[in-house]
Structure 1
Amino acid sequence: MTIEGLPPGLLMIAGALLLPFVGAAARRVMVLALPLAVLALVWMLPEGSGPALSFLGQSIAPLRVDALGRLFATIFLLMAAAGALFALGQSRLLEGVAAFVYAGSAVGVVLAGDLITVFVFWELMAVGSTLVLWAAGTPSAARAAMRYVQVHLLGGVVLMVGIVAHVAATGQTAFEAMRPETLGTWLILAGFLINAGAPPFSAWLPDAYPEASWSGMVFLSAFTTKTAVYALIRGFPGAEILIAIGLFMVFYGIIYALLENDMRRILAYSIVNQVGFMVTGVGIGTEMALNGAAAHAFAHILYKALLLMSAGSVLLMTGRRLCSDLGGLFRTMPVTTACGIIGALAISSFPWTSGFVAKSMIGQSAADGGLALTWFLLTAASAGVFLHAGIKFPWFVFFQKDSGLRPADPPWSMRLAMILLSALCVGIGVFPGLLYGLLPHPVDYQPYTAAHVVEMLQLLGFSGLAFFLLLPMMKRTRTVTLDADWLWRRPGAAAATRLWTGLAAVFAELTATAAAAVRSVADHARALHGPRGILARSMSSGGMAAFALVALGLALVALYR
């Protein structure tokens, strides 16, 4: 296969695996240049599919380039470059390698032309993201990584079974639009939704992401959920069930973000909320709605990364993550504060920011399609977004009370990464044609009408007024918010422990029985044949017992897993 037919994601992964073998100075250059080089390759590739290959009797297309895939590959690689710049001072090499494997796998998914290639890169994403989380090096990160990988391996198994069933029923491996009408397509949809953070598995995201390092969560926020959004746009446009699922995610994220005290958990719940808008757009399924979902995914990666860079800078410079422990940081962290505010305005769809020109397309598509209730709920949710991410996060972290903390802004590379993303958030908002020209369908939408601007300013203004009138209720204390993750943190963990203890007891009993049998055989051989014949027979009996024990142990391990 020539370089023209090689999936660019593989080049990203190969470059990541080379990072441990180059010097520190060369590594710093490489982590900045590699994503941009792969991005250039993505844009040099002509539209269409690469050479077809045969795998297990099935035809696969590891590379397919079109407008939708190129859009997502572009934002993934831009995010990898910005994240690498932000993490330039990160001492954990494993995190950088894993992050690039993670990013390369995401690029592999969005440029894959068949379901088998999608699945392979899908599972590589799970490995890379788990290692990014585990690389934080804390006990809480290790526990979160174990829970995280179990959820995503479950999603991978569901996806794999769905693909097998779909291929068996249709004989086709191509990744094209489907309807959730058969067992295979329903399972494929479920596998995608698990990665999107859809119910009932939404809680894995705020359970895991905030335990990453100050730089790790920036990478985690960008790829998994947005790759799932891409897969839904590609595979299930117009599936009406996604409207209900998306709206649930929208309000679930708002409610829990308003209850949270941990600044990074606020932003993690906000990811679920924002992905809910995208899933709703996919469910609406019109060209404008799909454009809106894709544009919103693009814009969301930028401003969510900016918000998490701001939060990561605060975490690095203060060592604190609870809103109740922070405040007054604008005095000594002006760059971080300004960039955090720009990110907060963008996520709130403030005019002249990227969120305003992207997310509003989804609401407009609901209105155009006569979905009055959906339009009303999305509009109400926009006010909720401003409450929890647009005001709550910057107010409690940078303003409110004087916490007595006087940290400086973070190192230059972190400041530069935030400034660049801030410029992109504002630039896309002021010149929306830059983004609209990349979308998969022709765009006939004008965001800057007088009615739309006034409507959004009124909505945000009244939301801000409500926040400050209800400020005593908005203040958080050192409490823990219960979510569905409690099920696998507490009763689930206890049940697994009891199961393993029981299996260990059974294994110990079987081992004791086998040892007694070996001793009996040895005693019998000694009595019949004397010392000379004992060695051969005991070796034979011992070997058989050892083989039986190994086989039993492997069976138990497989059962436990």
Structure 2
Amino acid sequence: MIDWVPPAAIFILGALLIPLFKGKARQLYVLIIPVIALANLLVMESGTKWTVGYLKYDLIFGQVDKLSMVFGYVFVIMAFIGVLYSLHVREHGHFVAAFLYLGSALGVVFSGDLFSLFIFWEIMAFSSVFLIWFQKEKASIDAGFRYILVHTAGGLALLAGIVLRVMETGSLEFGHIGLDGLDTYLILIGFILNAAVPPLHAWLADAYPEATIVGAVFLSAFTTKTAVYVLLRAYSGTEILMWLGAIMAIFGVCYAVLENDIRRILGYHIISQVGYMVCGVGIGTYMAINGSAAHAFAHILYKGLLFMSTGAIIYSTGLRKLTDLGGLYKKMPITLVMYMVAGFAISGMPLFSGFVSKTMVIASAEHAHQYIIFLMLLLASIGTFLSVGIKLPYFAFFGKDRGIEAKDPPANMLAGMGIAAFLCILIGVYPKVLYDLLPYEVDFQPFTIPHVVGELQLLMFTALGFFLLLKKLQVEPTITLDMDWTYRKGSKLFMWFINEPLARGSQWTVDVSLRIIAFLKWFAKNPVLAIMLYKDRITLHFLGRIGSRTQMDSIRYWEEEKKLYPKNPVKRNPVGDSLLMALIFMSIYVLYYLIML
């Protein structure tokens, strides 16, 4: 029995041992770790485990219930698939970063307190950035730095919210939070940034396409889904999330339809599909929560398969723009089949996994009488099939043959893709295998005539519209401007403000401070004589003379006195100065205390 091992520890400790193995031994080792983690999950029982006392708080590394388990299962399954897909990678750093990332994602899912959640949250951010940097290109290095800066900002918001919450409640417990104070809003900002909720989304479409081929597979699975998990745990029923999720679903597909880069298309579809999950969180009914969890499970598998399939294209051709691709169906037939399984799944085609999860979220909106949300989610479904189910495979596989040399990827990559494709079909054909894992009892039947016929009509008319408007839907070698454009322009304005008005203002402050210090040093040499000099100066200014002297004599007298200053400087005792400063600060403190009393 290994039920005492925290799931996160298996991957994190496993990551530290990876450099000790080489060749076939390392390949076997990295495959065994997810298997051990899955066995660990299978013997775990519901309840609170692995509690560690820290100061006066309990840190909980094993908050086990059905919600955490459904995410735990799919994370570990995707870990095995991703590792199998990555076996051809020789650099052990990829696996170390991936395992730290996986372990911290599991740590978030099973955390029962806000402090341990925050620790794993930050490990997740800092380990995942290496999956981008390992691409070792300027674009990936720059994107990685932007990625980590954004996630650092989100982490600071989360930390500030946690600190305020502990100060207010005296508890680190991680459960339902809701929106009722500044602390809850700060925590929510930290969470929705990782969920890529617009306008806090640009980091995803910017960074994920620049990651390594295998890195993008892992990135697509965990960061946004851990965000969905914590939102389900802490903010279910928060209405603003329902609207934000519906907007995400529409926003993502709009950009995906316009995109030319195959991985940016998939990046925007992460935003769109996570929008369904966030919307379900906001609706907050049992059906909606089940739908969000189910869609997260299905999404990790089919989105991972999409990134694996497009990764196979990039691996084989070195190209990622639709305008550069075409005619691959003859050269990469297995990759085409795998891609289409994932494409049908994300589009919600009956008998594929996306159908049994997405329809639950859409139906929950209808049952909650949120008809505008219902229509927005249906519209997003059209855009999903249009861009991922038709546009991308049509131009990449069936477009004009450009004479590209290509072939299906190595066996390990095909094996990983095959397992993911099998699970996408299994869940679509036999949804009970997924529904039994969900937090609440499922009272939803996806294979009813209205659901199936309605979905097929939606997809068929979308396909018809695509081919009727094919000439107008041709891809162009352009880039799309997103919110990151405003960040870049805004950063230039910010740097101008820093280097010009703020820097000048700062220098003026320094100059004034130096003048004040110089004056005080001059004044301290003989305060009495200094006061007399300034008294005479004021008298001369207003009366035109000092005493009975004429104006000219008064001016000469004042200038001579100033030259002779300080005459006999005042002798000071350093201890006396210290006591004086202490008295001054004590007086200020007493005054502040009396005012605030």
TM-score range, shorter chain: 0.7 to 0.9
Q: Which is further off, 61-70 or 334-343?
A: 61-70
What runs of 5+ residues in structure 2 fail to find an aligned partner?
511-597
Displacement over 6 Å in runs of 4+: 500-503
**1:417 maps to 2:419:** no
Cross-structure match for 1:182: 181
* Aligned counterparts of 1:464 and 1:492: Cα–Cα separation in 2: 42
Q: Structure 2 counterpart of 1:178, which letter?
A: I
Cross-structure match for 1:381: 380
Mark the CA change 1:499 to 1:88 in structure 2 (over 3 Å): closer, same or farther. Answer: farther
Mark the CA change 1:90 to 1:496 in structure 2 (over 3 Å): closer, same or farther. Answer: farther
Cross-structure match for 1:268: 267
* Aligned counterparts of 2:499 and 2:12: Cα–Cα separation in 1: 36
* Aligned counterparts of 2:22 and 2:425: Cα–Cα separation in 1: 37
* Aligned counterparts of 1:339 and 1:52: Cα–Cα separation in 2: 43
Mark the CA change 1:415 to 1:51 in structure 2 (over 3 Å): closer, same or farther. Answer: closer
* Aligned counterparts of 1:190 and 1:448: Cα–Cα separation in 2: 37
Paired residue secondary structure (1:434)? helix
Paired residue secondary structure (2:329)? helix
Q: CA deviation at 1:25?
A: 1.6
Judge conservation of contact 2:246–2:276 (CA < 8 Å) in 1: yes
- The aligned runs of 1:116-131 (5 Å cut-off) are 116-131=115-130
* Aligned counterparts of 2:335 and 2:497: Cα–Cα separation in 1: 47
Judge conservation of contact 2:38–2:73 (CA < 8 Å) in 1: yes
* Aligned counterparts of 1:469 and 1:99: Cα–Cα separation in 2: 44
Paired residue secondary structure (2:53)? strand
Cross-structure match for 1:297: 296
- The aligned runs of 1:73-472 (5 Å cut-off) are 73-472=72-471
* Aligned counterparts of 1:480 and 1:23: Cα–Cα separation in 2: 42
Mark the CA change 1:488 to 1:373 in structure 2 (over 3 Å): closer, same or farther. Answer: closer
Q: Structure 2 counterpart of 1:261, which letter?
A: N
Paired residue secondary structure (1:410)? coil
Which string of whole-angstrom CA distances, capped at 9 and with x for unpartnered residues, describes residues 44-95 of structure 1? 1211001432224222212111111111011111111111111111233212
* Aligned counterparts of 1:277 and 1:470: Cα–Cα separation in 2: 28
Paired residue secondary structure (1:50)? strand
Judge conservation of contact 1:5–1:63 (CA < 8 Å) in 2: no
Paired residue secondary structure (1:215)? helix
Judge conservation of contact 1:4–1:50 (CA < 8 Å) in 2: no
Which string of whole-angstrom CA distances, capped at 9 and with x for unpartnered residues, describes residues 286-318 of structure 1? 000000000000000000011111100000100
Q: CA deviation at 1:490?
A: 4.4
Cross-structure match for 1:524: none
Q: Structure 2 counterpart of 1:255, which letter?
A: C
Q: Structure 2 counterpart of 1:251, which letter?
A: I
Cross-structure match for 2:585: none
Judge conservation of contact 1:13–1:104 (CA < 8 Å) in 2: yes
* Aligned counterparts of 1:49 and 1:419: Cα–Cα separation in 2: 36
Paired residue secondary structure (1:177)? coil
* Aligned counterparts of 1:173 and 1:108: Cα–Cα separation in 2: 16
Judge conservation of contact 1:195–1:225 (CA < 8 Å) in 2: yes
Which string of whole-angstrom CA distances, capped at 9 and with x for unpartnered residues, describes residues 187-218 of structure 1? 11111000000121111100000001111100
* Aligned counterparts of 2:349 and 2:46: Cα–Cα separation in 1: 35
Judge conservation of contact 2:3–2:41 (CA < 8 Å) in 1: no
Q: Which is further off, 452-461 or 170-179?
A: 170-179
Judge conservation of contact 1:61–1:117 (CA < 8 Å) in 2: yes
Q: CA deviation at 1:493?
A: 5.4
* Aligned counterparts of 2:208 and 2:443: Cα–Cα separation in 1: 37
Which string of whole-angstrom CA distances, capped at 9 and with x for unpartnered residues, describes residues 239-282 of structure 1? 00001111111111011101100000000000000000100000
Q: Structure 1 counterpart of 2:159, which letter?
A: M
Q: Which is further off, 398-407 or 360-369?
A: 398-407
Q: CA deviation at 1:224?
A: 0.3
Judge conservation of contact 1:278–1:293 (CA < 8 Å) in 2: yes
Judge conservation of contact 2:101–2:123 (CA < 8 Å) in 1: yes
**1:67 maps to 2:66:** yes
Mark the CA change 1:491 to 1:236 in structure 2 (over 3 Å): closer, same or farther. Answer: closer
Judge conservation of contact 2:6–2:50 (CA < 8 Å) in 1: no
Q: CA deviation at 1:497?
A: 8.4
Mark the CA change 1:493 to 1:221 in structure 2 (over 3 Å): closer, same or farther. Answer: farther
What runs of 5+ residues in structure 1 fail to find an aligned partner?
511-561
Judge conservation of contact 2:98–2:218 (CA < 8 Å) in 1: yes
- The aligned runs of 1:536-551 (5 Å cut-off) are none
* Aligned counterparts of 1:378 and 1:389: Cα–Cα separation in 2: 16
Q: CA RMSD in A?
A: 2.0
* Aligned counterparts of 2:74 and 2:451: Cα–Cα separation in 1: 27
* Aligned counterparts of 1:57 and 1:274: Cα–Cα separation in 2: 41
Paired residue secondary structure (1:221)? helix
Q: Structure 1 counterpart of 2:383, which letter?
A: G
Mark the CA change 1:291 to 1:135 in structure 2 (over 3 Å): closer, same or farther. Answer: same
Q: Structure 1 counterpart of 2:71, which letter?
A: F
* Aligned counterparts of 2:280 and 2:232: Cα–Cα separation in 1: 9
Q: CA deviation at 1:165?
A: 0.9
Report which of the two structures shows the higher radius of gyration computed on alpha carbons: 2
